[in-house]
Amino acid sequence: MQKGEYDLSAHAHLERQEEQIAIAEIEKVLLKGSIIEQYPNDPRGESCLVGAKISKKALHVVCGKRDSRLLIVTEYRPKPTTWINYKTRAKELESRG
């Protein structure tokens, strides 16, 4: 991450632009954040959800490893209807999924 050896998926580029998320914010989340969820059986490849508060705003980044590089799959600001706080999913959704 510190060397800039990562890629953003096309979806990540689109989400970043729509939500006005700076590349620097994504990098900070991945360097300083914590893993919130792991997705070892994702059909697209093993990945995880990393979250942090950057400049008092919560941000989630889903990433995985593709070949020898880190791939940023998507990033988003967690919504209150889905997340109690940036580290905890709303119970209603946990029971469904």
CATH code: domain of residue 49: 3.30.2310
For residue 78, the model assigns a pLDDT of 95
63 close to 47: Cβ distance less than 8 angstroms: yes
Structural domain that includes position 15: 6-96
How confident is the model over 36-77, as pLDDT tens digits? 999 999 888 899 999 999 989 999 999 998 888 999 999 999
For residue 23, being part of any structural domain is answered with yes
For residue 1, being part of any structural domain is answered with no
Domain total in the chain: 1
For residue 92, being part of any structural domain is answered with yes
For residue 92, the model assigns a pLDDT of 54
CA dist., res. 34 & res. 51, Å (int): 6
Closest to 29 (Cα-Cα) out of 64, 54, 4: 54
